[in-house]
Amino acid sequence: DIVMTQTPLSLSVTPGQPASISCKSSQSLLHSDGQAYLYWYLQKPGQSPQLLIYEVSSRFSGVPDRFSGSGSGTDFTLKISRVEAEDVGVYYCMQGIHLYTFGQGTKLEIK
Amino acid sequence: VQLVESGGGLVKPGGSLRLSCAASGFSFSSYSMNWVRQAPGKGLEWVSSISSSSSYIYYADSVKGRFTISRDNAKNSLYLQMNSLRAEDTAVYYCATAKAFDIWGQGTMVTVS
């Protein structure tokens, strides 16, 4: 089974400052079709998760451009260029190359 | 585009429950579907997936042999039959669309106690 490890598990960010979350997989997420199946979700307090980024770096419809994803192979990163109050919640990465596995989650709070 | 789960509730260990997910606003029959659960205060756990025509079905090891996923494309509905329920199955159960889990429902709570 593929294990997804996120760091940090929590972070506190001043509004307007950047934030970065790392996600490492125990196996390469690069498929033979050339695509890497790594996704990022945000679960805001009291809400269902919502898709932010698909296939490493593509923003889902309606997601602000302050969110960006990067990485390859086993190392991936979600970056928020300027954190806003509405970005609070728990961020999860997920691999989709061999069934599905979520990371433990990273809780983002505002200072 | 909307997903609405139902069927959750309180059940005793060893009991059964059938969850439903009603889809609207998109071509349900064209997309694979998934179930994901979240135990109280915990993270997300993938449970099961089914392809658009039900040809391919997958389960997490934690539910294999106890849970059965199915769908009715004519009714735009996804189901999860849960048997031999255990305390550790207590969670909010979400349905989500497609390989990217694009759209999620609001979830339905299952309590095994």
β-pairing verdict for B17-24 and B2-6: antiparallel
Query: Concatenated DSSP letters for A43-106?
Result: E-TTS-EEEEEETTTEEPTT--TTEEEEEETTEEEEEESS--GGG-EEEEEEE-SSS-EE---E
- Find the residue in A nearest to B47 (Cα): A100
- Checking if the pLDDT of B42 tops 90, the result is yes
The model's confidence at residue A14, banded by pLDDT at 50, 70 and 90, is: very high
Q: Quote the minimal CA–CA distance from A17 to chain B in Å.
A: 26
Q: What is the 3-state secondary structure (H, E, C) of B28-85?
A: HHHCCEEEEEECCCCCEEEEEEECCCCCCEEECCCCCCCEEEEEEHHHCEEEEEECCC
A54 touches chain B (CB under 8 A): yes
Contacts of A49 in chain B (CB under 8 A): 36, 44, 94, 96, 101, 104
Contact between chains at B100 and A51 (C-beta distance less than 8 A): yes
- Checking if the pLDDT of A93 tops 90, the result is yes
pLDDT number for residue B98: 87
Averaged over A104-110, what is the pLDDT? 98
The model's confidence at residue A48, banded by pLDDT at 50, 70 and 90, is: very high
The model's confidence at residue B84, banded by pLDDT at 50, 70 and 90, is: very high
- Checking if the pLDDT of B66 tops 90, the result is yes
Contacts of B99 in chain A (CB under 8 A): 37, 96
> How much of chain A exceeds pLDDT 70, in percent?
100
B51 touches chain A (CB under 8 A): no
